[in-house]
Amino acid sequence: MSTVADYVSRIEGTCGAESDIIVTFKYEKKDEVIANIMKKAQLKNALAGIIFELTFEGQSFRLYTSGKAIFRGFKTKMALMDFLAKLLVV
Partner 1 sequence: MNIQAIRQDFPILNRQINGKPLIYFDNAATSQKPYSVIDAITNYYQYHNGNIHRAIHTLSSEATELFEKSREKISKFINAKSPNEIIFTRGTTEAINLVAYSLGCDTLGSDDEVLISLMEHHSNIVPWEIIAKCRGFTVKYGHVNKDGTLDYQDFMSKITKKTKICCLSHVSNVTGVINDVKCIAKVAHDNGALMLIDGAQSVPHMKVDVQDLNVDFLAFSGHKMLGPTGVGVLYGKKEALQKMTPFQGGGEMIKDVSFSADHCVVSWNELPWKFEAGTPDIAGVIGLGAAIDYLVALGMDNVFNHEKDLTQYATECLKKCRDITLYGPTDLSQKCGILPFCLRGFSSHETAALFNEYGIALRSGYHCAQPLHQILNLPSSARASFYIYNTKAEIDRFIEIIEELNS
18 binds partner 1 (CB under 8 A): yes
**Which of 31, 5, 19 has its CA nearest to residue 84?**
5
Tell me if 14 contacts partner 1 by CB under 8 A. yes
Tally of CA atoms within 13 A in the half-sphere of 7 that contains its CB = 24
How far is it, in rounded angstroms, from Cα 51 to Cα 41? 14
Site string for partner 1, 44-73 (x = CB under 8 A): ---xx-xx----------x-xxx-x-x-x-
Binding interface with partner 1 (CB under 8 A) = 14-18, 20, 22, 47-48, 50-51, 62, 64-66, 68, 70, 72
